[in-house]
Amino acid sequence: VSGIQEVLARRRLGLLFQVVEDLPAEVDVYRRWWAERRVDGVLVVDPRADDPRPPLLDELGLPAVVIGSLSPGDDGTGHPGISNLWADDARAMASIVSHLHGLGHRRIVHIAGLPELAHTRRRIQSLRTEAERRGLTDVRSITTDYSDTEGAEVTRRVLDSDAPPTAIVYDSDVLAVAGLAVAAGRGIPVPDRLSLVAWDDSVLCRTTHPALTALVRDTTAFGRRAAQELLALLDGGPALRVEDELPHLEQRGSTAAASP
């Protein structure tokens, strides 16, 4: 948000931010904003599978930047007024699997976010692809609602299974911190017996003990790019599909060689 505001402020444009209950409510907001001419353009986050928002924005003629990978099969070319800023979730997941596989981990659980999100589906598919390529048969994904409560519950469940994982990948910093607390409560040392990876880096990941290995990117710069793409549309430029820099995996204290 700070990166977006930084760019908009140079043009003396305001940022209107609204939280909605669900996707239908979000669609209603777009219709109302455009009918009332309250906004010049929108930034749309968290693309879904079969997402109704791009077709609606096309219908309204409302300039938009979709932030995040579009749903599988949607390359963005059918949306002339919509730009897309995205990072490659599949390659990012591949980098995590490569890291864990190199440390000797063969039982890996991915505690994912909401199943309807396009990026969740890409990460799950990438995990399956990488596991098959390496001959790993004990690798799986479990979706959650992104809450710390559900993240902790799923972590307890997988750690209590007959063949618990030696490594867990979490789709957010909040899920990862919740999982680390569960491991500590069960007396499971991290990383000696269990390695943990967080998808999103944050101050939470850097201040836990041990600090969490995480995918790192310049989030403020990402916001600036999103705002720049929206301004380009408002200035009459063409809709573009822009790939952002791939987040890099920063190894910290929560990952180590798998125990024998």
Domain range summary for the chain, segments of one domain joined by +? 2-88+217-246, 89-216
Q: Give dist(CA 53, CA 36) in Å, integer.
A: 18
Class (C level, CATH) for 2-88+217-246: alpha beta
pLDDT band at 81; cut points 50, 70, 90 = confident
Averaged pLDDT, 106-117: 96
pLDDT attached to residue 71: 62
pLDDT attached to residue 69: 82
Q: Give dist(CA 88, CA 202) in Å, integer.
A: 19
**pLDDT tens string 151-206:** 999 999 999 999 999 999 999 999 999 999 999 999 999 999 999 999 989 999 99
**Residue 160 CB contacts under 8 Å (≥ 6 apart), including other chains:** none
Mean pLDDT of the chain: 94
Give the amino acid at 42.
V
Give Rg (Cα) of the chain: 20
**Residue 187 CB contacts under 8 Å (≥ 6 apart), including other chains:** none
**Residue 135 CB contacts under 8 Å (≥ 6 apart), including other chains:** none
| Cross-strand bridge partners of residue 22 | none
Quick check: 5 pLDDT over 70?
A: yes
| Vertex 166 angle, CA 131 and 150, to 5° | 90
Q: Give dist(CA 89, CA 117) in Å, integer.
A: 12
**pLDDT tens string 182-191:** 999 999 999 9
pLDDT attached to residue 72: 54
Omega into 164 within 30° of 0, i.e. cis?
A: no
CA 116 to chain centre: 12
**pLDDT tens string 31-68:** 999 999 999 999 999 999 889 999 999 999 999 999 99
Q: Give dist(CA 199, CA 217) in Å, integer.
A: 10
| Cross-strand bridge partners of residue 85 | 67, 242
pLDDT attached to residue 76: 52
Nearest CA to 223 out of 71, 43, 55, 38 is that of: 43
Nearest CA to 154 out of 169, 134, 135, 132 is that of: 169
Q: Give percent of the chain above pLDDT 90.
A: 93
pLDDT attached to residue 199: 95
Quick check: 75 pLDDT over 60?
A: no
Which position has the token pair 């791939």? 246
pLDDT attached to residue 74: 56
> What CATH number does the domain located at 89-216 have?
3.40.50.2300
| Vertex 121 angle, CA 156 and 104, to 5° | 55
Give the amino acid at 124.
I
Sheet strands side by side (includes 42-45):
42-45, 64-67, 82-86, 241-243
Do 186 and 213 contact (CB within 8 A), yes or no? no
